[in-house]
Structure 1
Amino acid sequence: MNYKRILLKLSGESLMGEKQYGIDIDRVAQYAKDITEVHAQGIEIAIVIGGGNIYRGLSAEKAGMDRVQADYMGMLATVINSMALQDALEKTGVKTRLLTAIKMEQICEPFIRRRAVRHLEKGRIVIFGAGTGNPYFTTDTAASLRAVEINADVVMKGTRVDGIYTADPLKDPTATRFDEISFTDVYEKSLNVMDMTAITLCQENNLPIIVFDMNKPGNFKRIADGEPIGTLVRG
């Protein structure tokens, strides 16, 4: 597969590295290096990052906090992660733009679809922060939405595991990995790939998803080059 424009989705937890919370600067630097290598091939890259390493709205709701308030706090956490990755990327010499769904004019640009596309066309890496800007929607859904809006060729979800399994491989040693799976099978098997809103959005727009291990250096370049690693979700 040849990709002209990729939407890379990173979980907030992946930025923790070996830490229990927060941001591991070494892990962020590794991600920046891998992303820059792919960008150097002329591929346009947009990124969405979660905020679970700092704050989770759902967890706060279970503890008694108002869900809307908690979700907005989670959106702010994604902006912190986005700024950390932006800094690491710019240290590698690439130009970036951070666009957020919530206005924060001192640190980033507001999300405007045409502006985001123009940044990509000019060779800048675009980072989308603050999710969709709405409570009750995850950053997975934000990734699918932004990918559709910018006409990305694929959503690549970088995780801590090397694809989609029949069960959590970190908990079930008998779990087996799928090389490829359909959107329908993801529904029917209730596989934890992305939330159902995100999956539905990709399915309706014929947008494939690839789930792969982002923590292994060089994997992002390998998958951008078309190597069949990770799990492909389509049709």
Structure 2
Amino acid sequence: MHWILLRGLTREQSHWGAFPRLLADAFPGQQFHLVDLPGTGVHFNDPCPESIAAIREKVRHSVEHIPGPYSLLALSMGGMVALDWAQHVPAGEIQNLVLINTSSGFSRPWHRMRPGAWPRIARLLCRRELFDREADILRLSCNRPVGLDTMKHWYSIQRQRPVNFRTAWAQLKAAARFRLQPERPLPDALLLASKGDRVVHWKCSEALEQRWQWTLKVHPTAGHDLPLDDPEWIIRQMKSWLPR
């Protein structure tokens, strides 16, 4: 099985850290492909569309060389792209869907972006000192202590493949406008949420669970970047759910 991993707002494949290696060790025989959204990572020079549907088409085009069907594991805004993908492809193209701290139009606006996060994100987008900005993003999205090595690594990513303000603004607009179709795209999906998420309320995942009777597991303490805060917990949930 080929898994496509999608990151969130202004983040790229290198921000997964050790998580892809842990996945490969936990699921031998399965292949995990780290795919960047337009305007980030290997596509940092490309313009980013202002709709999730257009971003989804760019992503699908970038994985055409990977044989399907696919399984999708996606975080935050990447989860919106994954949901939209699952709703707009022929049956069978998407086999498994694992969504981490994502949101949709089924949720209240103040749950999709918690009120306390808005001013912090606005300040981050305007901040010019790269190291301090990346360190503040980590402090907002993670609840476990973040080491200096991780801060330096994120700073290095931004220096090498900078995400510009236009991309960040386009992604914010695309996420804010995102609406799902009412039809359930898959009989089941694994929804993983964090009670300690200070960016997206965990009830956004609960809204998807209640609407489509999908499987929801909630981490009691982790922050928005659950793959950094507790990757082993994610893997345990996947191992329990995948043999369904």
TM-score (normalised: structure 1): 0.35
Q: Which has the higher helix share?
A: 2
TM-score when normalising by structure 2:
0.34
